[in-house]
Structure 1
């Protein structure tokens, strides 16, 4: 099954969270069709989590939707910013979504 375009998926993610009363923005636009999506979550307590696409080796079968892994959990914001900056140097097509959320459930599949 083919995945939804990155620009459409990101727009839906941002819209869904903003409709729920969470603040969510596109911090960086990548390739509209096939750019990777990273989600940076500010927990509003001085900590940040980072979700990145899950490697295919972690999945039993091809997913119907995007699947993420938690790369950093409630860590220092500079650690996450540094990791994102290093990835952008490598992958110019990267999307970064920034979400302010006090809870843990960002509304995506996580392995």
Structure 2
């Protein structure tokens, strides 16, 4: 079985977090089939974190989307600059914006080696 479409994955993620009481929206729509997904978390304390797709080597066989933590609790401008830089390079990028106080957005995360 192939990977889930980006649009379906994003819609499910947004709905799940909104059902949990976290404000979650699509900040940017990308390619519906294979666009990369970035998740921006506003921790509601003046800091943000950014999760980006992990390298394919870390996904393993049959895995869904796997992310890496690019930034953790940094200035919001740093996150915004990174997203802007990536959208210039890849206009098919999806960006999900999530407001939550915790650090666990409920995604598969690999730690850098």
TM-score by length of 2: 0.94
**Structure 2: unaligned runs, 5 residues or longer:** none
Distance 1:92 1:26 in 2: 15
Residues 3-48 of structure 1, C-alpha deviation per residue, up to 9 Å, x if partnerless?
Answer: 1100000000000000000000000000000000000000000000
Separation in 2 of the partners of 1:13 and 1:100? 13
Structure 1 residue 63, shift from structure 2 partner: 4.1
Larger CA deviation: 80-89 vs 1-10:
1-10
**Structure 2 match to 1:83:** 82
Answer with 61-70 or 97-106: which moved more: 61-70
**Normalized against structure 1, the TM-score is what?**
0.96
Aligned twin of 2:26? 26
Aligned residue pair count: 110
> 1:72 is matched with which residue?
71
Structure 1 unaligned regions, length at least 5: none
Q: Tell me how large the CA RMSD over aligned residues is.
A: 0.9
* Residue 2 of structure 1, CA deviation: 1.1
